[in-house]
Amino acid sequence: MEFELNKIPHLSEITAIHGAFNELAIPAKAHESLAERQRNSKKLLSSIEEAIKYVGLKDGMTISFHHHFRNGDYVINMVMDVIAKMGFKGLTLAASSLTDIHEPLIEHIKNGVIKHIETSGLRGKLAEAVSHGLMDFPIIFRSHGGRAAAIETGELHIDIAFLGAPSCDPYGNANGYNRDDENGSCCGSLGYAKLDAVKADKCVIITDHLVSFPNAPFGIPESHVDCVVKVESVGDPKGIMSGATRYTKNPKELLIAKTAADVIEASGYFNDGFSMQMGSGGASLATARFLREKMINKNIKARFALGGITGQIVEMHEEGLVQKILDVQSFDLVAANSLKNNRFHQQIDASYYASYVNRGAAVNQLDFVILSALEIDTDFNINVLTGSDGVIRGAIGGHPDTAAGASLSVVVAPLLRGRIPTIVGKVNTVVTPGCTVDVVVTDQGVAVNPRRPEIKERLEAAGIPVFTIDQLRARAERIVGVPEPIQYEDRVVGVVMYRDNSVIDVIRQVKEID
Amino acid sequence: MPRLRRSMLFVPGNNPGMIRDAHIYGSDSIMFDLEDSVSINEKDAARYLVYKALTSLKYGKKELVVRINALDTRLGIDDLEAMVRAQPHVIRLPKTETAKDVIDCEREIARIEAEIGLPVGTTKMMAAIESAQGVLNAYEIAKSSSRLIGIALGAEDYVTDLKTTRSPEGVELLFARSMIVNAARAAGIAALDTVYSDVNNEAGFRAEAELIKKLGFDGKSVINPRQIQPLHDIFNPTEKDIAKAKAIMAAIAEAEARGSGVASLNGKMIDKPIVERAKYMLERAAATSIPIEEV
Amino acid sequence: MQIVTTGVAGTMESSDIIIRIEPNDQEGIELSIDSSVMQQFGKQIEKVIRKTLFDLGVTSAVVSAVDKGALDCTIAARVSTAAYRASERTDYVWNGGVN
């Protein structure tokens, strides 16, 4: 080869030229067959402990997990037990969400293994313990979009992501399902894990179902994965997802759902080619059923449905009523199987779904979203995080992201839950600000945010009676009486972030009552 | 404006949650039940619960009905003592066999009204016919009291009495339904149909509602709120019905304006029954379109 | 109204309350309340129970309440039913509403 690198004009300006080729510097070429290679994959480690050593976990690091296995998740507890046994301390656990099954974290917090938690939500015993003052460091609650944004900007830096996957090959191509066989558990989309894999310094995939390379299609590519561990089981399939989400038979939820569908129809956003998202919750999901009838009657089709996807949306997709599905989280087996089998059912990540800092998020293309609420106040602020007793028992999810992104946000809730009014003077915890909430639908009346007078006019023109939010509150209190406010300590146990990661509210320790 | 009685929602008298929420589902009437849905050991509890609910909760302009226990036991009298004081609009008497059953009940109601200084006659009544004998006496029952606002068919006991069972087509009820609707119309009161108990069979429910509408009933009892909307959809005048009725009334007005006694529409003469039906249709349409009242 | 035996009324269903009334050795109402809405409505529940007992003339009883979010009217109805059962009486007095 006859050339002198330093004499070629301008070449010195190119930084990605690492000198002249040197045959001796090239690593030895592998000669094995594909099958042999996979058997000998150095990425495949024999235990979680080995993986933790391999990726170099240290005290005080931030580790992340996803919540696609919901209440069937074994991964978080399994990994934390090993970490605790290995003696690490002072870790930050940044999960996309936590649920009842993560109760064992209480011990790891008490023992100092976990110093701090970031999550979308918290339930069960762990949530109760936190509300009663378990942790010195307040929990940071972020929406799905807010968490994605914090990871993207590097403000939430993940040192190591431990990501459970229902299928993976020996090189780390992982997914929530697989097209090779019907074995293993299944969670559909890995939307909340994808960004962690990209952005974490190290990424460990934990799977109970190894398939051969390449596990295509994949939700997480091997190029983002440091190592793979096969374990006995990543979760309880029954807790990961139900076969099919059934429509509620609760007459009150159906009444709310029907009213919500009537509201959508009259709102001005129910036109051919519309886009929608349904939050979880009986009334919210049931709205799809009534919309479906209206779509058939009026010959209207939706361009896409977004979000947590259920069998109901899939059914409408397969009937041709919903053209495309953007799926960040599959809620049931029907949805997971659709992601596996339907070509216009697309897996998306948390950033694409809802981040405010990237170059474009799907929530911004929503015509309307139907959302649930634990509490709604007379300023239309929504609480989905703390119960009426002030104790943490929910998750922010994509609530503030979709309410802000959608042109019309409709919040559905019963006026009363037992003796507790849903519509109150002041919510215990503000999660979604009232300025992004447009319509409230209860079983005993509809209220429209005064910021949207045109919506009120359209609903009234369609014969839907509209009340003020104060009238709905008064109606609730006339039935149940006026509840006394919850007593709190001064100590802050949780900090609630809006989707732009500004602090929108704090959660205080609840007072012990005898 | 005629009172609509398309739907009467059954609410078990010992269920506080259902009693609290009974008004939200848009039924025309609510019937609190002290009879068959309450076990014999809980009669006192249900009576207290319904009494307290009626005297403290608001149900807007809904027609409130209480089904009491039959007067052949002490229970029926105890129910009346409480309920006449609690003042629902209507007391529903179960298992009415003869006009005498109604008159006996009316006497007790009148006595209690007098005791508490309520104008005698304030409390309305409804009689449920649930036996072969009751069906044969339907007309006598229907005109036995000026308090009666309607008679209703109770099919479960009736088919047992007939020694048959209920069928999807309801052929076994045809005679009873025809008798009851005829008796009610002859007496100038409402005719109300029995419940459809298979709440998950919406198609079956719709078919039965279509049938009883054709027979002339005002409406039907429902045991699940999910049945209310389909029932109203069937009973409500359609836009086509309303347009036709309006056209008829316009033709009449036009004929009167030119001093003619004979009106016609699309080449057909409009006779008196047609006009009456058109008027009734428009009244119903007006009543149907009343928005939800502030409760 | 004399409490002579144990009277229980109500169910564990949501929006209901179970009231248990038993004889008390001494004068006075000994009351315990367990409620799913204790913080928000505990005082109100106690007020309704005590007033209902007072109106019925019950001055000595051990009363326990397990509440699942019952409205005031439900609480009053269950207390009245339990009191009549515990006093083995059926001479109900209906004095609400019209008079």
Taking CB atoms and an 8 Å limit, are B226 and A463 in contact across chains? no
What are all long-range contacts of B203-212, with beta carbons under 8 Å and residues at least 24 apart? B204/B168, B205/B230, B205/B231, B206/B230, B206/B234, B207/B168, B208/B170, B209/B234, B209/B235, B210/B234, B211/B170, B212/B177
Query: Per the domain annotation, does B293 fall within a domain?
Result: no
Q: What is the residue whose two structure tokens read 């309350």?
A: C17
Residue of B nearest to C70 (CA): B16
The Cα of B11 is separated from the nearest Cα of chain C by a number of Å equal to: 15
List the chains bordering chain B where 3 or more Cβ pairs fall under 8 Å: A, C
Q: In this structure, are B211 and B282 located in the same domain?
A: no
For residues A32 and A29, what is the distance between their CA atoms, to the nearest angstrom?
Answer: 9
For residues A427 and A383, what is the distance between their CA atoms, to the nearest angstrom?
Answer: 6
- Angle between the B74-86 and B43-56 helix axes, to the nearest 10 degrees? 10
Q: What is the pLDDT of residues B179-199, one digit of tens each?
A: 999 999 999 999 999 999 898
For residues C76 and C47, what is the distance between their CA atoms, to the nearest angstrom?
Answer: 10
What is the residue type of B256? E
Number of helices (H) and strands (E) in chain B: give both, helices first. Answer: 12, 10
- CB contacts of B53 in chain C (<8 Å) are 73-74, 77
For residue B52, which of A443, C9, C43, C30 has the smallest C-alpha distance? C9
Q: In this structure, are B269 and B195 located in the same domain?
A: no
For residues A410 and B40, what is the distance between their CA atoms, to the nearest angstrom?
Answer: 46
Longest dimension (CA), chain A: 93
Q: In this structure, are B73 and B151 located in the same domain?
A: yes
Boundary (domain end) residue, out of B235, B265, B280? B235
Residue of C nearest to A479 (CA): C71
- CB contacts of C40 in chain A (<8 Å) are 388-389, 419-420, 483-484, 486
> ∠ CA(A415), CA(A418), CA(A424), 5° rounding?
45
Q: In this structure, are B133 and B118 located in the same domain?
A: yes
Tokens of A371: 């959302």
What is the residue type of B55? T
Name residues whose C-beta falls within 8 Å of residue A40's C-beta, 6 or more positions apart in sequence: A32
- CB contacts of A419 in chain C (<8 Å) are 15, 37, 40-41, 69-71
What is the residue type of A422? T
Q: What is the pLDDT of residues A140-168, one digit of tens each?
A: 999 999 999 999 999 999 999 999 999 99
Does residue B291 surpass a pLDDT of 50? no
How would residue C98 be classed by pLDDT, with cut points 50, 70 and 90?
A: very low
For residues A145 and A401, what is the distance between their CA atoms, to the nearest angstrom?
Answer: 6
Assigned CATH for C7-86: 3.30.230.10
What is the residue type of A145? G
For residues B145 and B105, what is the distance between their CA atoms, to the nearest angstrom?
Answer: 10
Query: Per the domain annotation, does B295 fall within a domain?
Result: no
For residues A456 and B101, what is the distance between their CA atoms, to the nearest angstrom?
Answer: 53
Q: In this structure, are B60 and B167 located in the same domain?
A: yes
- CB contacts of A487 in chain C (<8 Å) are 39
A103, A363 in Cβ contact below 8 A? no
Does residue B290 surpass a pLDDT of 60? no
Q: How many CB pairs under 8 A join A and B?
A: 29
Alpha helix (H) ranges present in A319-452?
A: 333-341, 350-354, 399-405
Q: What is the pLDDT of residues A253-304, one digit of tens each?
A: 999 999 999 999 999 999 999 999 998 888 999 999 999 999 999 999 999 9
Residue of B nearest to A259 (CA): B25
Q: What is the pLDDT of residues B72-127, one digit of tens each?
A: 989 999 999 999 999 999 999 999 999 999 999 999 999 999 999 999 999 999 99
Q: Say which CATH number the domain at B103 has.
A: 3.20.20.60
- Burial (Cβ within 10 Å: 0-12, 13-18, ≥19) of residue A350: buried
Q: Chain-centre distance of CA A446, in angstroms?
A: 28
For residues B285 and B1, what is the distance between their CA atoms, to the nearest angstrom?
Answer: 10
A57, A90 in Cβ contact below 8 A? no
Does residue B295 surpass a pLDDT of 70? no
Which segments within C1-99 are labelled E, that is strand?
7-9, 17-22, 28-35, 60-67
Does residue B293 surpass a pLDDT of 70? no
Calculate the average pLDDT of chain B: 92
Through-space distance between the first and last CA atoms of chain B, rounded to whole angstroms: 20
More confident residue, A279 or C76: C76
C-beta neighbour count of C24 within 10 angstroms: 16
Q: How many CB pairs under 8 A join B and C?
A: 80
Domains of chain A: 40-240 (3.40.1080.10), 251-486 (3.40.1080.10)
For residue A211, which of A241, A186, A240 has the smallest C-alpha distance? A186
Q: In this structure, are B172 and B243 located in the same domain?
A: no
The answer to whether the pTM exceeds 0.80 is yes
Query: Per the domain annotation, does B65 fall within a domain?
Result: yes
For residues A189 and A177, what is the distance between their CA atoms, to the nearest angstrom?
Answer: 8
Query: Per the domain annotation, does B55 fall within a domain?
Result: yes
Q: In this structure, are B141 and B246 located in the same domain?
A: no
Query: Per the domain annotation, does B208 fall within a domain?
Result: yes
Say which of A249, A416, A465 has its CB closest to residue B292.
A465
Q: In this structure, are B220 and B75 located in the same domain?
A: yes
Q: In this structure, are B254 and B175 located in the same domain?
A: no
Helix (H, G, I), strand (E, B) or coil at A443: coil
DSSP type of residue B294? P
Tokens of B283: 């009244």
For residues B44 and B52, what is the distance between their CA atoms, to the nearest angstrom?
Answer: 12
Does residue B292 surpass a pLDDT of 80? no
What is the residue type of A58? K
Q: What is the pLDDT of residues A230-243, one digit of tens each?
A: 999 999 989 998 77
Q: What is the pLDDT of residue A40?
A: 87
C-beta neighbour count of B78 within 10 angstroms: 19
Rounded CA Rg of chain A: 25
Per-residue pLDDT 10s for chain A (514 aa) are 688 888 899 988 998 988 889 888 898 888 999 989 888 889 999 999 999 999 999 999 999 999 999 999 999 999 999 999 999 999 999 999 999 999 999 999 999 999 999 999 999 999 999 999 999 999 999 999 999 999 999 999 999 999 999 999 999 999 999 998 888 889 999 999 999 999 999 999 999 999 999 999 999 999 999 999 999 999 998 999 877 777 889 999 999 999 999 999 999 999 999 999 998 888 999 999 999 999 999 999 999 999 999 999 999 999 999 999 999 999 999 999 999 999 999 999 999 999 999 999 999 999 999 999 999 999 999 999 999 999 999 999 999 999 999 999 999 999 999 999 999 999 999 999 999 999 999 999 999 999 999 999 999 999 999 999 999 999 999 999 999 999 999 999 999 999 999 999 999 999 987 6
Does residue B153 surpass a pLDDT of 50? yes
Q: Do the strands B29-33 and B63-67 form a parallel or antiparallel pair, or are they unpaired?
A: parallel
Query: Per the domain annotation, does B178 fall within a domain?
Result: yes
Q: What is the pLDDT of residue B289?
A: 64
Q: In this structure, are B139 and B111 located in the same domain?
A: yes
DSSP labels for C53-70?
HHHHT--EEEEEEEESS-
- CB contacts of B52 in chain C (<8 Å) are 73-74, 76-77, 80, 96
Residue of B nearest to C69 (CA): B17
Q: What is the pLDDT of residue A127?
A: 97
Q: Delimit the domains of chain C by residue range.
A: 7-86
- Which residue out of C32, C34, C40, C51 would a mutagenesis test of the A interface target, given it has the greatest number of A Cβ atoms within 10 Å? C40
- CB contacts of C99 in chain B (<8 Å) are 116-117
For residues A412 and A395, what is the distance between their CA atoms, to the nearest angstrom?
Answer: 16
- Angle between the B174-187 and B202-215 helix axes, to the nearest 10 degrees? 40
For residue A295, which of A278, A280, A274 has the smallest C-alpha distance? A274
Query: Per the domain annotation, does B223 fall within a domain?
Result: yes
Taking CB atoms and an 8 Å limit, are B49 and C74 in contact across chains? yes
Taking CB atoms and an 8 Å limit, are B229 and A258 in contact across chains? yes
> ∠ CA(A143), CA(A441), CA(A273), 5° rounding?
70
For residue A202, which of A341, A43, A84 has the smallest C-alpha distance? A43
Query: Per the domain annotation, does B133 fall within a domain?
Result: yes
Taking CB atoms and an 8 Å limit, are A252 and B229 in contact across chains? no
Number of domains in chain B: 2
DSSP labels for B215-276?
HT-SEEEESSGGGHHHHHHHHSPPHHHHHHHHHHHHHHHHHHHTT-S-EEETTEEE-HHHHH
> ∠ CA(B249), CA(B251), CA(B252), 5° rounding?
65
Taking CB atoms and an 8 Å limit, are A249 and B21 in contact across chains? no
For residues A64 and A66, what is the distance between their CA atoms, to the nearest angstrom?
Answer: 7
Residue of A nearest to B58 (CA): A479
Q: In this structure, are B228 and B252 located in the same domain?
A: no
Respond yes or no on whether ipTM tops 0.90: yes
Tokens of A416: 């009363």
DSSP type of residue A318? H
Give the range of the structural domain holding residue B284, as residue numbers without chain letter: 239-288
Residue of A nearest to C15 (CA): A418
A189, A240 in Cβ contact below 8 A? no
Q: In this structure, are B128 and B162 located in the same domain?
A: yes
